[in-house]
Each structure stands twice: as structure tokens, then as C-alpha cells.
């Protein structure tokens, strides 16, 4: 079912055709520079999917996928993997199982473009067909990395099934086989969990992090033809966090959350700039920059750190024993890091959200804890996003909590979508795009629906 809105899309289409970013664009996982912060002047605060309240449109997306939607101009892009076994599900909730979901049925890996204003499918392409080359985690999918775009080229990464680039019109431009991406539990290599790191675009290249059981690496490929620009080997265990490109005064650095070390690389050459440890043995979150700092956290015990790293640092940043700060690290903590939802910096606060729904706010510059509050949700995987003074926190139960940003906790609303949410929502100006287990929802306040 698709509910239509009569929005004018001429300006959006012109900007997209020119390859120019607008304030409404959300070009990668967690949006511009992975900040998670939208630009909407009046984004939605209250809605109800079952009643249709403030739901602009709702579009069914086939298959299983926890990848997040992205937006450019008048297009919303999503990926999915469609199993030929209709009994396949994503197992939600909190559990500690390490076994894989061993679905060996033939799959189709798809890239889809939808009209941002109506939800109509504009094109869909099958990138690959066949039996998955690796297994997946029960809470994950065969299409977990989010796509990325610069308005002209759309890049989708499907792990062992390859890296694919399409034009905005849906034409395949190139594909790359990056080998078997065996990402799983380091104690038991047979427990394959699938990839989770999303590609990111920097200038005329797309950067991909491939941390696996052996021969991990990070590499940049030319957007035009897929030619490899640089590749840097990583002595790393499997990880699932997306790299973040941080623009500094004199350089751009690619920050990666690694199990053995957190690292920064020169975005133009791939040269390692700095390294920092210790870190959790399982790293899943994406670094985020704000207030002149790069924040990295991980939540697998016993080391569950939070680091606030100064942009432009170099060398070995590991702190001396007993120290929590240095010339390169503004502040740190060895407890309090979170496992799956990536953190967010909004205003003067740095926020983390645990899998169990504990929201913690810190003074971003100083590191002192401002408050800690548990939300009434069973499990959280999606990362927080923010806009217009509010945080948006999506639970696996299918609810999105709206919390007022600032030094005091205030719950503004709790909004049901009606199906589990594992993907991180996306912003398109005043429009909130939420991906549930089966549908994509476009949500806006009624007065913002001309």
C-alpha cells in the first residue's frame, strides 16, 4: 500500500540531476558525515502507523534486511536480500546465542530506488543471485550494510556477494569481487554473522572496510569505474562498524572502530595516521565527530570504553596506565561503552544508547555524565538520530521514542510503527524515513504535507 502526498519535486529533481547535496540529503548510514543529525525545521513528533496519523506513505519492501535507507533529492534508496525460503525470519530481542542462521536457500540481492514524495518504486535491480557464500547472524541479514550515494552514483555492498555501483537511473556501472567476507565470532570461526560495515563516499572514491577472520583491509575505489585507488592491510579481527570520514583543518581522516585498535587513516592515501587502544573484542558502532572531537565507543565486556579523540592527532594515542586523558584524548572511560547502537553528539551533549534501552548523556567536551535513563523498550539495535531539538530512538518493539535533547531527560512521545525496527532511520528535511521489518514509512507532521 502506498499513500501519496502531492509535494512538488521539481527543485529536488534538478538538484539531484546536478549531483549537488542539499540540506535534505541523507547520503549514507547516519546521514552527512555519519552525524545522525537532520536539518528539518519541523520534523514529526507524533504519529501512529496503524491509524495512519502523520504517515505520508508506506511501501512494502520484500526480503530480509537491516540496512538503513538513504536519501538524495527526490529518491530514497534501500537494499534487501530475498530468500527463496519463506520461513526465514530475523530473530529480535536480547539473547546471547552465537550460532548462525544457516539459510542455504538461493537469494536475490537487490538495490531499490523509491520516490521520496510518494513511495513509488522507481527502479529495482538484482545485483546478485545465488546461494549465500557465508551465513548470517539471527538478528542480521544478508543485506545489512547501508548503501551510499553522491547523487550520481549509488553504491551497495553485499559482503561476499560483492560491491556494486549504479547510476541514479539504475544502470549498473561496475562491480567488484572483494573475496569471502567471513565475519564472525573470533572464538568460533564457524559462527558466521555476516558483514555490517557500510561503504562511505569521499570525494570521487568509495571507501570500504573489510574486517574478517583473515587478511582484513580497508580500501578506496574510484566511483567512476571501480578501480582500486589504495588498500591498507589491517591486523584486525572481524568488526561491524562503518568507518567515518572526519574533515580536519589540514586533512581528512578515516576513523575505524577496531577490536585490536581504533585507527585513523589518511582518506586520500590510506596511510595509517594514529592508533588507540585498548578496545572491545567485538566492535560494532560507528565513530562520530562533534565539538572538535571524535567519539568512539564499544560495548563487549570486559573492556567497554568511550574515547573522545582530538581531531588531527597522530601516532600511538594509547593512554598511560591510570590516565584518562592526554594531549590527544580529551577524555575517556573504560566502562559505559555500548554494543550495537552508535552514539550521537547533539548540542553540548554526547549520548549513548545501550541494547537494553539505557540512554546516557555526557557533557561532550568534559566527559562528565549528565543523566542516565532507561526507556521502556525490550531491545535497541538502531542508532539514535536527531533533529529540531529532539532525539529519535527506535526499538525492536517497533516504537520510536522522541526525547528532548539537553541536560535533563524529558520523554516527548512514544510512537508505534507496528513492526520491529532494526535499521537506523533517515531524515529528508522534515520527513522521517523509518524502515521496519517489512515496510518503509515516510512520516511528517500534517501541516508539513502540502
DSSP string, 22-35: -TT-B-STTSGGG-
pLDDT digits 0-9 by tens, 154-178: 999 999 999 999 999 999 999 999 9
**27-45 average pLDDT score:** 94
Q: Is residue 2 part of a domain?
A: no
Q: Is residue 4 part of a domain?
A: no
Confidence at residue 94, expressed as pLDDT on a 0 to 100 scale: 87
Q: Is residue 366 part of a domain?
A: yes
Q: What CATH number should be reported for the domain holding residue 270?
A: 2.130.10.10
Round to whole Å and give the CA distance between 356 and 164.
35
Copy the grid coordinates of residue 70. 538513504
Show the domain range for 314. Answer: 10-448
Asked if residues 27 and 72 have their Cβ atoms less than 8 Å apart, the reply is yes
Tally of domains within the chain: 1
- pLDDT above 90: residue 186: no
- pLDDT above 60: residue 11: no
- Which region among 95-109, 193-207, 311-325 has the lowest average model confidence (pLDDT)? 95-109
Give the H/E segment covering residue 15.
Answer: helix 10-18
Provide the whole-model pTM: 0.94
pLDDT digits 0-9 by tens, 238-263: 999 999 999 999 999 999 999 999 99
Q: Is residue 19 part of a domain?
A: yes
pLDDT digits 0-9 by tens, 350-394: 999 999 999 999 999 999 999 999 999 889 999 999 999 999 999
Q: Is residue 313 part of a domain?
A: yes
Q: Is residue 3 part of a domain?
A: no
Copy the grid coordinates of residue 360. 546516557
Q: Is residue 275 part of a domain?
A: yes
Minimal CA–CA distance to 26: which of 151, 197, 123?
A: 151
Mean pLDDT (the chain) is 93
Amino acid at each position: 500500500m502506498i499513500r501519496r502526498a502531492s509535494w512538488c519535486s521539481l527543485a529536488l529533481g534538478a538538484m539531484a540531476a546536478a549531483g549537488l547535496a542539499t540540506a535534505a540529503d541523507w547520503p549514507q548510514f547516519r546521514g552527512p558525515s555519519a552525524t545522525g543529525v537532520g536539518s528539518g525545521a519541523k520534523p514529526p513528533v507524533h504519529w501512529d502507523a496503524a491509524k495512519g496519523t502523520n504517515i505520508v506513505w508506506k511501501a512494502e519492501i520484500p526480503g530480509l534486511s537491516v540496512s538503513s535507507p538513504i536519501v538524495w533529492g527526490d529518491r530514497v534508496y534501500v537494499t534487501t536480500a530475498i530468500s527463496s525460503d519463506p520461513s526465514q525470519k530475523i530473530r529480535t530481542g536480547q539473547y546471547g546465542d552465537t550460532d548462525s542462521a544457516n539459510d542455504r536457500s538461493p537469494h536475490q540481492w537487490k538495490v531499490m530506488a523509491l520516490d521520496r514524495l510518494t513511495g513509488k518504486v522507481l527502479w529495482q535491480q538484482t545485483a546478485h543471485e545465488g546461494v549465500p557464500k557465508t551465513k548470517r547472524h539471527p538478528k542480521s541479514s544478508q543485506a545489512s550494510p547501508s548503501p551510499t550515494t553522491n547523487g550520481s552514483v549509488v553504491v551497495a555492498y553485499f559482503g561476499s556477494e560483492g560491491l556494486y555501483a549504479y547510476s541514479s537511473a539504475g544502470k549498473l556501472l561496475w562491480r567488484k569481487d572483494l573475496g569471502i567476507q567471513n565475519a564472525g565470532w573470533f572464538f568460533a570461526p564457524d559462527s558466521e554473522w555476516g558483514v555490517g560495515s557500510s561503504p562511505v563516499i569521499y570525494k570521487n572514491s568509495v571507501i570500504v572496510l573489510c574486517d574478517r577472520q583473515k587478511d582484513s583491509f580497508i580500501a578506496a575505489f574510484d566511483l567512476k569505474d571501480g578501480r582500486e585507488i589504495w588498500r591498507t592491510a589491517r591486523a584486525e579481527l572481524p568488526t561491524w562498524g562503518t568507518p567515518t570520514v572526519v574533515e580536519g583543518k589540514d586533512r581528512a581522516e578515516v576513523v575505524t572502530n577496531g577490536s585490536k585498535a581504533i585507527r585513523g587513516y589518511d582518506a586520500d592515501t590510506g596511510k595509517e595516521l594514529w592508533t588507540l587502544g585498548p578496545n572491545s573484542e567485538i566492535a560494532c558502532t560507528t565513530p562520530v565527530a562533534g565539538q572538535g572531537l571524535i567519539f568512539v565507543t564499544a560495548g563487549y565486556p570486559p573492556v567497554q570504553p568511550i574515547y573522545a579523540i582530538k581531531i588531527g592527532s597522530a601516532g600511538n594515542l594509547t593512554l598511560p596506565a591510570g590516565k584518562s586523558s592526554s594531549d590527544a584524548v580529551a577524555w575517556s572511560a573504560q566502562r559505559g561503552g555500548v554494543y550495537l547502537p552508535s552514539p550521537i553528539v547533539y548540542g553540548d551533549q554526547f549520548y549513548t544508547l545501550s541494547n537494553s534501552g539505557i540512554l546516557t548523556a555526557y557533557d561532550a567536551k568534559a566527559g562528565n555524565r549528565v543523566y542516565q535513563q532507561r526507556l521502556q523498550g525490550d531491545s535497541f539495535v538502531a542508532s539514535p538520530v536527531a533533529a529540531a531539538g529532539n532525539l529519535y530512538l527506535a526499538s525492536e518493539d517497533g516504537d520510536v521514542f522522541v526525547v528532548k535533547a539537553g541536560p535533563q531527560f524529558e520523554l516527548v512521545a512514544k510512537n508505534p510503527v507496528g513492526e520491529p525496527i532494526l535499521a537506523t532511520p533517515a531524515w529528508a528535511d522534515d520527513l522521517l524515513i523509518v524502515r521496519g521489518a517489512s515496510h518503509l514509512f515516510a512520516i511528517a507532521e500534517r501541516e508539513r504535507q502540502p
